[in-house]
Every structure is written in structure tokens, then in C-alpha cells.
Amino acid sequence: MSISGTDTAPARTGPAPAPDPLLVVRDLRVRFTRDGVPVHAVNGLSYSVAPGRTLAVIGESGSGKSVSSRALLGLLPESARITGSATFDGTELIGMPEREMRGRRGSDIAMVFQDPARSLNPTMRIGNQITEAVRVHADVDARVARERAVELLTLVRLPAPERRFFEYPHQLSGGMRQRVMIAIALAGQPRLLIADEATTALDVTTQAQIMELLAELQQRLGTAVVMISHDLGLAASYADDVLVMYAGRAVEYAPAPTLFGAVRMPYTAALLGAIPLLDRPSHTLLPVIPGQPPDLRALPEGCPFRPRCASSDDQCLTEPPLTEHEPGHRWACWHPEPGPGTDREEDRR
Ligand code: SF4
């Protein structure tokens, strides 16, 4: 991989043998204790991501999507109890000593957060912040680090990078600041980028530009991306694979074309129904998912989506496991949405 992106990743043009996964998460569990009550924020999460692929982890606030990714990088408070396994290129991350983890953050795995205004140092020129990031990961002198910083600003398509190098964060728009954060994340040439609601604070146009940039960089650098979002629409546009989380669990997991070809879990269907559509008649109310996300300290018996689900019945008092019901398509539901060519009654039989 090179910062200038001259090495090209193979284009996704046709069926090719799937590369070995770079990140493999198995039965990840994160538990906090709040007011003496255990809170199971992540409950048996498993997934994998291969180089050059984008996995979208989708869910509402409190679904465990951000907690699970922070657990991989050792970014949770010490009070968090983390079990299970997460291997990066075969090396176990869970339980890795902080000193070793610090060496991997940024160089193996980098993270881009939602709010660049809070992540950037407001009193430091952006060029110096990127130069500093380059020197954390590479033993180079100030001149070389500065050249790489300008290269990175060019790579993330910041307009007039030589001039912007000397500007402060407050002189940039929100979209430009997020480009700077991506440049900092790429300074260590990571093989895995975790984008945690990285475009949520941006307007729709800038959001699309940043997502296009991430997709383009991924093609050029072969980076694996875990995109954490509440927005199933973004997953439809940019993800190769989609994992939907609810109450700390994976409730549907499939390659994006499979999942969007036939959503099976009622919660995923509800999320999909809540996406604003351009062809929706004006002045019609946007459908919302009824009820509230669950309180993790007091989950309902059985399926955690039961209080909000129109399809629930007594069988749902037992929690459904995440099961591969069709090739590559896993869901956790006793009464899934109808698949292609079936109706709900057939599915129930
Ligand atoms: S298991 Fe039951 S309550 Fe849960 S999503 Fe499926 S139908 Fe709804």
C-alpha cells in the first residue's frame, strides 16, 4: 500500500475467490455495570471483514454498534467486561496489553469518528496535526512528514491542500474537517478503517461526497472498512455486507444485494421503511418505528424486538437465534418477512 495510492486494489468486476478475512469477530460480549445492574451492551456478536470490503454495522442508538467496535481497539472504560474473540490478521485483539494495542491503533486499524470538530486540536494548524500523525507511525524527518501530509490532503481531495495545510480547523467547513480526519486516519496506512457515524453530522450532499471518497480510497488502497451507522440507506449505497444490530445482538446479516433483495427480519424492514424516499408524495408523514429502543437493563422476555413488532406471538417469548436460513443470509426471527415468491403464511409453516 502507498499513501499516494498508486498501488491499485483489484476492481470488483466479477466473481473471484473471496480473500481471507482480515478481521474476525467471534461471540463478542461487552458488559457494563450501571447502578449495580449489569448491562449487556453487546451480546454474542460475530462477523468478519475481508480486505477491500465494506461491512456496514447498522442500528439505532444503544444497539451496541459503536461499543462493539470500540471494544476491538481497547477504547472502552476499564469497567467494561469484554469476552469473546476478535482477531486481526490472526492476532487476538481482545485482552491485548494497552502498550501493544497503542502500536496497532492507527497503523493496523484506524477510526474516524462523527465529530471532527471535537477530534481536531482547535489551536493547531491542520497540516501540523497530520504531520504529527505521520511521525507517530513512521520514522521520518520533518520535511518528509510534511510532504506526506500534503500528499494525504491531496488524497482526501481537500481543495488547495498546500494553502489549507496552514489553516486552523475553524477555518474549514464540516466536510473539509472530516476529510482532514480521514487524512489523519490514513497517516499510518491502516489496513482496516472503522468509520463510526463518520458522516452523520454532515449535510446530505457532503455526506455523499465523503462516502464516495471512502469508497474510492478503499478501491485504491485495498483497505477493509467497517462503517457504523444508523442509516440503512447508506449501507444500501456503499456496503458489500450488512449486519443489523438490535439490543446488542446481530439480528440480520447478509451480503448487501441479498439483504436488500429480500429483507427478512421485521426490525430491518422497519428501518428500511423509515428511510426518506424522493418519490414519496410531499406532505406525507415519514413512517417511524413504533415504540422505543429497549432499555438494556430491563430487556423483554424472548425476542428483544417483541414490544415493537407487529408480527409477534407467543413463540416470540423465546429468543430466536441468528441462523443461516438461506445461503449467506442469517436472521434472528421466528416469523420473518416473506421471501421472494412466498407469502407470510407459507413462511410461518
Ligand atoms: S421473533 Fe417475533 S417478535 Fe421478534 S422480530 Fe420475529 S416476529 Fe417479531
Find cell 494553502 and name the residue: 163
Task: Give me the mean pLDDT over the 108-120 stretch.
Answer: 84
Task: Give me the mean pLDDT over the 10-22 stretch.
Answer: 65
Q: How far apart are CA 71 and CA 86, in angstroms?
A: 9
pLDDT of 258 > 50? The answer is yes
Contact in structure between 334 and 315 (CB atoms under 8 Å):
yes
Distance 248 CA to ligand 1 centre (A): 16
Q: What is the 3-state secondary structure (H, E, C) of the chain?
A: CCCCCCCCCCCCCCCCCCCCCCEEEEEEEEEEEECCEEEEEEEEEEEEECCCCEEEEECCCCCCHHHHHHHHCCCCCCCCEEEEEEEECCEECCCCCHHHHHHHECCCEEEECCCHHHHCCCCCCHHHHHHHHHHHHCCCCHHHHHHHHHHHHHHCCCCCHHHHCCCCHHHCCHHHHHHHHHHHHHCCCCCEEEEECCCCCCCHHHHHHHHHHHHHHHHHHCCEEEEEECCHHHHHHHCCEEEEEECCEEEEEEEHHHHHHCCCCHHHHHHHHCCCCCCCCCCCCCCCCCCCCCCCCCCCCCCCCHHHCCCCCHHHHCCCCCEEEECCEEECCCCCCCCCCCCHHHHHC
Distance 345 CA to ligand 1 centre (A): 15
pLDDT of 97 > 80? The answer is yes
Mutate to test the pocket of ligand 1, among 309, 317, 325 (most ligand atoms within 8 A of CB): 309
Per-chain mean pLDDT for the chain:
87
Distance 330 CA to ligand 1 centre (A): 14
Tell me, what's the ipTM? 0.99
First to last CA, the chain: 52
> pLDDT tens digits, residue range 45-83?
999 999 999 999 999 888 999 999 999 999 999 889 999
Task: Give me the mean pLDDT over the 228-238 stretch.
Answer: 90
Is any ligand 1 atom within 6 A of the Cβ of residue 316?
yes
pLDDT number for residue 213: 85
pLDDT number for residue 228: 94
Mutate to test the pocket of ligand 1, among 251, 289, 311 (most ligand atoms within 8 A of CB): 311
Q: How far apart are CA 15 and CA 290, in angstroms?
A: 40
Is any ligand 1 atom within 6 A of the Cβ of residue 311?
yes
Is any ligand 1 atom within 6 A of the Cβ of residue 312?
yes
Distance 315 CA to ligand 1 centre (A): 8
Q: Which of 23, 37, 109, 27 has its CA nearest to residue 74? A: 109
Mutate to test the pocket of ligand 1, among 252, 313, 334 (most ligand atoms within 8 A of CB): 334
Task: Give me the mean pLDDT over the 323-341 stretch.
Answer: 93
Identity of the highest mean pLDDT range in 149-163, 203-217, 266-280? 149-163
Domain spans of the chain?
Answer: 19-108+191-301, 118-189
> Residue 57 corresponds to which amino acid?
V
How big is the CA angle at 197 (ends 154 and 127), to the nearest 5 degrees?
A: 30
Of all atoms in ligand 1, which is nearest to the CA of residue 320? Answer: 1
Considering the chain, what percentage of its residues have pLDDT values greater than 90? 61
Task: Give me the mean pLDDT over the 300-306 stretch.
Answer: 95
pLDDT of 85 > 90? The answer is yes
Cell of 127: 497540516
pLDDT of 287 > 70? The answer is no
Q: Residue 274 — pLDDT band, cuts 50, 70, 90?
A: confident
Task: Give me the mean pLDDT over the 98-103 stretch.
Answer: 91
Instruction: Count the Cβ atoms, other than its own, within 10 Å of residue 122.
Output: 9
pLDDT of 108 > 70? The answer is yes
Instruction: Count the Cβ atoms, other than its own, within 10 Å of residue 26.
Output: 14
Task: Give me the mean pLDDT over the 272-283 stretch.
Answer: 67
Q: How far apart are CA 301 and CA 309, in angstroms?
A: 13
Distance 57 CA to ligand 1 centre (A): 20
The CATH number given to 19-108+191-301 is: 3.40.50.300
